[in-house]
A and B are shown apart, each in its own frame.
Chain A
Amino acid sequence: MNAKTADKIATALIVTIAAIIILILAGLLGYILIRGVGHISFDFLTSPPETIRAGGGIGPQLFNSLFLLVLTMIITIPLGLGAGIYMSEYAKPGRGTDFIRLVVEVLSSFPSIVVGLFGLLVIVNLFGFGFSLFSGALALTVFNLPLMVRITEQGLKSVPREQKEAGLALGLSKWKTIRSIMLPIAIPVILTGTILAAGRVFGEAAALLFTAGMSSPRLDFSDWNPLSPFSPLNPFRPAETLAVHIWKINSEGLAPDAPEIAAGASAVLIITVLLFNMIARWFGRYVHRKFTATK
């Protein structure tokens, strides 16, 4: 076989594989959307679920998912950024950092059900936070953090060395160089990583079963005092998220329209993740333009 034929075969093979992947993805997305989109209505998105009767919605669950996302990110982003900056710029390479990196890798490949059980034992029971959004956010932080750390580290490492040197050579301090020269360049990479991390929060169910709980109190959407037990903003109340809700009604739903609700909720979940990705991407580009003044 001559080189030209080999090249053609390789090209054809790679194109075929790519096509198969796109087909699978489009098929999955299409299936979920076609089954679910018909069920989505304003009422469905805002009303609370029904246990036995038909016509329940997913309002509180959708809100819980978004709120949990925000809570988790509030914990994850500063910790992840800090640790990532340390690993990339401050830690002396050697056994210590290699060990930290190994721990981070292991942490990120933990099965989420194990993280959930750990959360139940330690966060829910030992620390006494109970089934709550806060417990859920802490559990999700456990496996979001490694991703965040790695992404920050990679983002900073991808900044050309000359940029860093140029900052230092001007007599900028190390921190100023990192903050004002390197981080702006690394931000699109870091943002992409944050989106990935956020996507996991949104879709996660197993780790939340035993931490955020499988029920929501009767939320009073007119009460925005975070300390009141029925306020949606109270982080110490139990909260069933969208993904957990899908799992629950699929396995033990009693309402006659449970399959439709599950399909609709799945579609909402997918669409939200897609939206979130697109908005964050756009935002990443916007921030990059803003920080670097490139056109």
Chain B
Amino acid sequence: MQDIGLSAHKLSVHYGEKAAVKNVSLDFADRQVTALIGPSGCGKSTFLRSLNRMNDLIPGARVTGDIWIGGENINSPQTDVVLLRQKIGMVWQRPNPFHKSIYENIAFGPRYHGIRDKKKLDEIVEQSLRRAALWEETKDRLHNSALALSGGQQQRLCIARSIAVKPSIILMDEPASALDPVSTAKIEELIAELKQDYCIVIVTHNMYQAARISQKTAFFMLGEVEEYDDTDKIFTNPQKISTSDYITGRFG
């Protein structure tokens, strides 16, 4: 049994009266990729966004249940969300680099968290970019705008940005769905690489992607987890008919 990186217990999300996520309990192991799959509107993204309290921003959203990280329930009003979010990186569907230079995109977080030493920051920038396999492409133009990068490069920059503040968990919400196949392949390679150090939870619409990169897969439907198991098992020998129907493309 591996360490538990993150654990949700009876987590529900309501938008007003409507329940988007119902009573979901899932454990996400450290140093492993867990994929969340399911048809559109099944609540997988909503669930993901609850894990770093991002749903706090949505007016009318109510998250109930527990989320455990290292013995602390972070879904409580006492939790310091600012502190919490340093431990959890996030990557969005569309690349969203800050409207700043490549260097600043990475250095911004660490500097805010107290690292003022220029040398140290340079180091973090280089390490993070290397980690995200972006260093070679950008080392000569670190001070150019991040917006001039291609979509795939921007997405890798966003990953570099999130690992620069040294989180232990990375949440990814369809990180490759807005990218071309070559960029997608690079992102997948990168995820496989990052898995050695992080607990990664990834929402994806692409079942081949889930099969390629994840060790565990949770199948969501109508706000509930239908099935959660090793990825191999889900894709070769699903226990439920709905799971098998979905992964064979009968609906969704």
Residues in chain A near residue B112, CB distance under 8 A: 170-172, 176
Evaluate whether A294 and B147 lie within 8 angstroms (CB atoms) in the complex, with A165-B54, A165-B57 already known: yes
Q: Does B52 contact A (CB under 8 A)?
A: yes
Contact string, A155-178, partner B, CB cutoff 8 A, digits 1/0?
A: 000001111111111111100100
B79 to A: closest C-beta gap in Å: 13
Residues in chain A near residue B92, CB distance under 8 A: 162, 165-166
Compute how far the CA of A92 lies from the CA of B56 in the bound complex, rounded to whole angstroms.
Answer: 12
Q: Which of B34-42, B94-102, B212-220 contacts A (4 or more CB under 8 A)?
A: B94-102
Name the residue of chain A whose CB is nearest to the CB of B113.
A171
Please determine whether B85 and A171 come into contact, CB atoms closer than 8 angstroms: yes
Residues in chain A near residue B96, CB distance under 8 A: 160, 162-163, 165-166
Compute how far the CA of A167 lies from the CA of B147 in the bound complex, rounded to whole angstroms.
Answer: 16
Compute how far the CA of A278 lies from the CA of B43 in the bound complex, rounded to whole angstroms.
Answer: 49
Please determine whether B99 and A185 come into contact, CB atoms closer than 8 angstroms: yes
Contact string, B51-75, partner A, CB cutoff 8 A, digits 1/0?
A: 0101001010000000000000000
Please determine whether B145 and A168 come into contact, CB atoms closer than 8 angstroms: no
B169 to A: closest C-beta gap in Å: 11
Please determine whether B101 and A293 come into contact, CB atoms closer than 8 angstroms: yes
Please determine whether A294 and B109 come into contact, CB atoms closer than 8 angstroms: no
Compute how far the CA of A164 lies from the CA of B58 in the bound complex, rounded to whole angstroms.
Answer: 12
Please determine whether B145 and A170 come into contact, CB atoms closer than 8 angstroms: no
Name the residue of chain B whose CB is nearest to the CB of A181.
B98
Q: Does A295 contact B (CB under 8 A)?
A: yes
Please determine whether A295 and B145 come into contact, CB atoms closer than 8 angstroms: yes
Residues in chain B near residue A294, CB distance under 8 A: 99, 145, 147-148
Q: Which of B124-132, B157-165, B234-242 contacts A (4 or more CB under 8 A)?
A: B157-165
B55 to A: closest C-beta gap in Å: 11
Partner of A293, one of B59, B88, B145: B145
Compute how far the CA of A16 lies from the CA of B232 in the bound complex, rounded to whole angstroms.
Answer: 66
Please determine whether A166 and B99 come into contact, CB atoms closer than 8 angstroms: no
Q: Does A282 contact B (CB under 8 A)?
A: no
Please determine whether B161 and A170 come into contact, CB atoms closer than 8 angstroms: yes
A183 to B: closest C-beta gap in Å: 11
Residues in chain B near residue A164, CB distance under 8 A: 57
B57 to A: closest C-beta gap in Å: 7
Contact string, A283-295, partner B, CB cutoff 8 A, digits 1/0?
A: 0000000011111
Please determine whether A169 and B145 come into contact, CB atoms closer than 8 angstroms: no
Evaluate whether A168 and B54 lie within 8 angstroms (CB atoms) in the complex, with A162-B94, A292-B145 already known: yes
Q: Does B177 contact A (CB under 8 A)?
A: no
Partner of A170, one of B54, B81, B108: B108
Q: Does B104 contact A (CB under 8 A)?
A: yes
Q: Does B187 contact A (CB under 8 A)?
A: no
Please determine whether B88 and A169 come into contact, CB atoms closer than 8 angstroms: yes
Considering only residues 138-165 of chain A, those with a C-beta below 8 Å from chain B are 160-165
Evaluate whether A172 and B109 lie within 8 angstroms (CB atoms) in the complex, with A165-B54, A293-B144 already known: yes
Evaluate whether A170 and B109 lie within 8 angstroms (CB atoms) in the complex, with A294-B99, A294-B147 already known: yes
Compute how far the CA of A184 lies from the CA of B108 in the bound complex, rounded to whole angstroms.
Answer: 14
Compute how far the CA of A93 lies from the CA of B92 in the bound complex, rounded to whole angstroms.
Answer: 26
Most chain A C-beta atoms within 10 Å of own C-beta, residue among B82, B89, B113: B82
Please determine whether B99 and A165 come into contact, CB atoms closer than 8 angstroms: no
Evaluate whether A93 and B59 lie within 8 angstroms (CB atoms) in the complex, with A162-B94, A172-B109 already known: yes
Residues in chain B near residue A51, CB distance under 8 A: none
Compute how far the CA of A292 lies from the CA of B82 in the bound complex, rounded to whole angstroms.
Answer: 24
Please determine whether B158 and A166 come into contact, CB atoms closer than 8 angstroms: yes
Q: Does B90 contact A (CB under 8 A)?
A: yes
Compute how far the CA of A293 lies from the CA of B145 in the bound complex, rounded to whole angstroms.
Answer: 5
Name the residue of chain A whose CB is nearest to the CB of B96.
A162
Compute how far the CA of A167 lies from the CA of B54 in the bound complex, rounded to whole angstroms.
Answer: 11
Q: Does B143 contact A (CB under 8 A)?
A: yes
Name the residue of chain B whose CB is nearest to the CB of A92.
B59
Compute how far the CA of A191 lies from the CA of B94 in the bound complex, rounded to whole angstroms.
Answer: 28
Q: Does A180 contact B (CB under 8 A)?
A: yes
Please determine whether A171 and B82 come into contact, CB atoms closer than 8 angstroms: yes
B211 to A: closest C-beta gap in Å: 27
Residues in chain A near residue B162, CB distance under 8 A: 169-170
Report the 5 A-B pairs with minimum CB-CB distance, sorted nearest first.
A171-B86, A292-B99, A162-B96, A169-B90, A293-B101
Residue pairs across A and B with Cβ atoms less than 8 A apart, 22 shown, are: A92-B59, A164-B57, A166-B92, A167-B98, A168-B57, A169-B89, A169-B90, A169-B162, A170-B162, A171-B82, A171-B84, A171-B85, A171-B109, A171-B113, A172-B109, A172-B112, A185-B99, A292-B99, A293-B104, A293-B143, A293-B146, A294-B145
Partner-A contacts on B (CB < 8 A): 52, 54, 57, 59, 81-86, 88-90, 92, 94, 96, 98-101, 104, 108-109, 112-113, 143-148, 158, 161-162, 165
